[in-house]
Amino acid sequence: MGKPTGFLEYERKTSETIPPKERIKNFQEFHIPLSEAEQRKQGARCMECGVPFCQSGMMIKGMTSGCPLHNLIPEWNDLVYHGNWRQAYNRLKKTSSFPEFTSRVCPALCEAACTCGLNGQPTNVKENEHAIIEKAYEEGWAAAKPPQIRTGKKIAIIGSGPSGLAAADQLNKRGHSVTVFEREDRVGGLLMYGIPNMKLEKWVIDRKIKVMEEEGVLFMTNTNIGKDYRAAKLLKDYDCVILACGASNPRDIKVPGREADGIYFAVDFLKANTKSLLNSNLTDGKNISAKGKHVIVIGGGDTGNDCVGTSIRHGCASVTQLEMMPKLPEQRTPDNSWPEWPRVLKTDYGQEEAIAVFGSDPRIYQTTVKEFKKDKDGKVCAVVTVKLEPKKDEKTGRMNMVPVAGSEKELPADLVLIAAGFLGSQKYVTDAFGVEVNARTNVATAPDSYKTNVDKVFVTGDMHRGQSLVVWAVREGREVAKEVDFSLMGYTNLT
């Protein structure tokens, strides 16, 4: 511990952000990094605990506490403080495949479990991680390092999201020949088309993919396995196949009027926007525009917030975000103590921008849609909402959100975006490989295993565990790589 009193001497400081009314003029990232001197102070705040909860990645009451990757956080925090950036990068890369991604989009489970946060502000872990990886690229430490020996084993990975990429990265480093198949026109999966540019600019993905290509990983885009490429051929040509296709079935809102034009799944809205932005800077007319429209976003999670931020950048007339659950408290409650994930109110960038532009928080809590109304041309023109209240199911004992009679309200709506989550893997893929699925339509495996019921076929990421975080996808990608490597070689030295 290089600075035993660092957490007492220095206050937590995070990067500044471009003001909302300025940053909504474009789709660029809007965080301004700290100076190197200030970043080193933030590293000094780490207490280097004897039992570092920040790197535990354990489940408490169904929520993750600490980093699922078990990043060696106290070690590289101390190295940042001392200015030993190269060694900090080496320690970070021991456990993390893509710090350039997680340092931008992870909700910082590590910081929520930081001991400093028990009586004060947690260590600025996420931004320390970002500083390390960007320094590594700047200095050339993150350049390609192809394996010197090849094993002769061939592995196919279906899907180039964070889990598929993590598996590819690890298995390629081991010396196996890896081909990643992606049905879209660009590599990245969820990272490319599910996360908007202002959270993750796509040059960041392209930079890492270029390194992986130089290291020997092959990427095949516009290749939809199970439709235009037979699964049987893949199983014949490769020693192993890893399914990393994500949880791709969006949850629908099945109420009267659902067939109206102008109602889209959030994933389609965000994908069309990013694709048009990258192809033509939104000039090709192929995005779903919110300009001048009254937008209703159904769903209160990260994807819903991304829809809010994107709609505001389009120039929407208004935006309202409907959340089924009650508003969370601003501080931890007694039954939500450290180091549990804090169930507290979070105002994200999209909501901040809505407040700046329209003068109020766009979220309406304990509310859902009862009906979509359409005009004479069949286009959505309004939504009928209904308030919800928690009620206990006498049979199961579970608390359910049920409609409140007489609480209906009509809101204008020209564009409705459904951001209600995802419901597992897509049937055409699971059918093509003949893999079993569980009740949630995730691909079934034995506990603590990634092997499916089909010989040579493994599964990872959201397709395995259900919709989750990028950091969990990376964790699963690294874990499946170890299991595949062991199955091919009889042992593994992957970590």
Q: What is the pLDDT of residues 296-336, one digit of tens each?
A: 999 989 999 999 999 999 999 999 999 999 999 999 999 99
Predicted local confidence at residue 353, as pLDDT: 98
The neighbour count for residue 311, using CB atoms within 10 Å, is 31
Q: Rounded to whole angstroms, what are the CA distances from 76 to 35, 110, 178, 399? A: 17, 13, 31, 43
Concatenated DSSP letters of 24-81: TTSSS--EEPPPHHHHHHHHHT----SS-GGGT-EEETTEEES-TT---HHHHHHHHH
- C-alpha angle 442-445-447 in degrees, rounded to nearest 5: 115
Q: How far apart are CA 193 and CA 203, in angstroms?
A: 13
Unique residue bearing structure tokens 């939809």: 224
- State the pLDDT at residue 424: 87
Residue 278 three-state SS:
helix
Give the span between the Cα atoms of 305 and 307, in whole angstroms.
5
**Predicted pLDDT at 398:** 87
- Closest listed residue to residue 461, CA positions, set 212, 242, 187: 242
Task: Give the Cα separation of 196 and 104 in Å (integer).
Answer: 12
pTM: 0.95
First vs last Cα of the chain: how many Å apart? 26
Q: Quote the CA–CA distance of 474 and 51 in Å, as a whole number.
A: 24
Q: How many helices (H) and strands (E) does the chain have?
A: 17, 18
Q: What is the DSSP letter of 326?
A: P
Between CA 301 and CA 177 the distance in angstroms is 38
Q: How far apart are CA 49 and CA 93, in angstroms?
A: 21
Edge-to-edge order in the sheet of strand 457-459:
218-220, 177-181, 154-158, 240-243, 457-459
What string of pLDDT tens digits covers the 495 residues of the chain? 668 888 989 999 999 999 999 999 999 999 999 999 999 999 999 988 888 999 999 999 989 999 999 999 999 999 999 999 999 999 999 999 999 999 999 999 999 999 999 888 999 999 999 999 999 999 999 999 999 999 999 999 999 999 999 999 999 999 999 999 999 999 999 999 999 999 999 999 999 999 999 999 999 999 999 998 899 999 999 999 999 999 988 999 999 999 999 999 999 999 999 999 999 999 999 999 999 999 999 998 999 999 999 999 999 999 999 999 999 999 999 999 999 999 999 999 999 999 999 999 999 999 999 999 999 999 999 999 999 999 988 888 888 999 999 999 999 999 999 999 998 899 999 999 999 999 989 999 999 999 999 999 999 999 999 999 999 999 999 999 999 999 999 999 999
**Of residues 101, 160, 105, the one with CA closest to residue 134:** 101
Task: Supply 450's token pair.
Answer: 């990634």
Rounded-to-integer distance, Cα 39 and Cα 30, Å: 18
* Residue 359 CB neighbour total at 10 angstroms: 7
Contacts of 284 (CB under 8 A, 6+ apart): 276
Q: Which residues of 329-342 are buried (b: 16+ CB within 10 A; e: fewer)?
A: eeeeeeebebbbbb
Q: What's the pLDDT at 1?
A: 61
Strands (E), 121-236: 154-158, 177-181, 218-220
Tokens of 219: 């990427």
